Amino acid sequence: MSYVNDNTYSVENSTKNNILIDMCDPDKKKHHSPMELILSAVTSCAAVEIVSMIKKRKRDFKDILAETTGFRVDQTPRYFKSIDIKYIIHSSDLKESEADRFISLSLQKYCSVGATINEKTNINYSFEIVR
Amino acid sequence: MSYVNDNTYSVENSTKNNILIDMCDPDKKKHHSPMELILSAVTSCAAVEIVSMIKKRKRDFKDILAETTGFRVDQTPRYFKSIDIKYIIHSSDLKESEADRFISLSLQKYCSVGATINEKTNINYSFEIVR
């Protein structure tokens, strides 16, 4: 990690891929904030597992999208008390019960990010299947 | 979040800033992975607080860098059992005891990302002051 300015940092991973992170006010914001990165990380980490399970089950898979919202506690440190993720899966034959099980297993059993997040943070999910 | 391919996702925050995330093998990797984002998030979140404290204390501040390593458990889900962060602070007059206290307070008390991370994950820090 290196300093860009008081509200902006540059971070590089071990394979030298770089991103910028900022903590600016919404009207000046150009990058994800650290807390937004947590939401993006858990949503995408579980998505990889969900798609893998859909394909292993040999169900049709066209697309997956998600909308994620984090709710923080009021006092410092303002950690997430809950995270709501809604997955929208495009598939012609994925059953509701399968989608439910795959998402639940991904978030609770397989996703490393989910398991790194505090037990005080409730990770809730919902889903919609688009035929 | 939207799907790019099985190992790559695009994520957009509420202010429409976009990043790509991938879970490719190191030789094919172009972006941060979800678990790397966690490391980047906690390191930068605390850095903002550290710099703020250095400046409030009216100490000289030239630069801050950090190197962060995460150690994961062997079994699935492979959450971080520990995260080691080394901060390198460039300052002509910041005392060792102040740096120690500012980093400790940032990680343990003020940083929202640190407080969102599991209590099973030990967040360790070290630091170096460059005069």
pLDDT tens digit sequence for A90-126 = 999 999 999 999 999 999 999 999 999 988 899 999 9
Residue B117's pLDDT is: 94
Beta bridge partners of A20: A10
Identify the residue among B18, B40, B85 best suited for mutation to test binding to A, counting A beta carbons within 10 A and taking the highest: B40
What digits encode the pLDDT tens for the residues B45-102? Answer: 999 999 999 999 999 999 999 999 999 999 999 999 999 999 999 999 999 999 999 9
Across B9-26, average pLDDT: 94
Write the residue in B7, B110, B116 that is nearest to A117 by C-beta: B116
Q: What's the predicted TM-score (pTM) here?
A: 0.96
Contacts of A67 in chain B (CB under 8 A): 1
Strands of A18-22's sheet in order across: A18-22, A8-12, A2-5, B63-72, B80-90, B122-130
Give the 3-state DSSP-derived string for chain A, with helices as H, strands as E and coil as C: CEEEECCEEEEECCCCCEEEEECCCHHHCCCECHHHHHHHHHHHHHHHHHHHHHHHCCCCCCEEEEEEEEEECCCCCCCEEEEEEEEEEECCCCCHHHHHHHHHHHHHHHCHHHHHECCCCEEEEEEEEEC
Residue B118's pLDDT is: 86
Q: For the structural domain made of B34-130, what CATH number should be given?
A: 3.30.300.20
The verdict on a CB contact (< 8 Å) between B17 and A9 is no
The verdict on a CB contact (< 8 Å) between B41 and A42 is no
The verdict on a CB contact (< 8 Å) between B116 and A113 is no
Any CB–CB contact under 8 A between B56 and chain A? no
Residue A118's pLDDT is: 85
B27: number of CA atoms within 13 Å, CB side? 0
Residue A73's pLDDT is: 97
Name every residue whose Cβ is closer than 8 Å to that of residue B102 and which is 6 or more positions away in sequence.
B49, B50, B53, B54, B57
Identify the residue among A27, A38, A122 best suited for mutation to test binding to B, counting B beta carbons within 10 A and taking the highest: A38
Residue A79's pLDDT is: 96
Residue B100's pLDDT is: 98
Residue type, A34: P
Of the candidates A83, A50, A36, the residue with the CA atom closest to the CA atom of residue B19: A36
Residue A119's pLDDT is: 87
Of the candidates A29, A64, A71, A18, the residue with the CA atom closest to the CA atom of residue A45: A64
Q: What band does A86 get if pLDDT is binned at 50, 70 and 90?
A: very high
- Written as six digits, the tokens of A93 are 């034959």
Residue B119's pLDDT is: 87
Pairing of strands A8-12, B18-22: unpaired
Position B19 pLDDT exceeds 90:
yes
The verdict on a CB contact (< 8 Å) between A118 and B116 is yes
| Domain boundary assignment for chain A | 1-29, 34-130
Across B96-125, average pLDDT: 95
Identify the residue among B31, B33, B103 best suited for mutation to test binding to A, counting A beta carbons within 10 A and taking the highest: B33
Any CB–CB contact under 8 A between B106 and chain A? no
- Written as six digits, the tokens of B30 are 């172009």
Q: What band does B32 get if pLDDT is binned at 50, 70 and 90?
A: very high
Contacts of A17 in chain B (CB under 8 A): 29-32
Mean pLDDT rounded to a whole number for chain A:
96
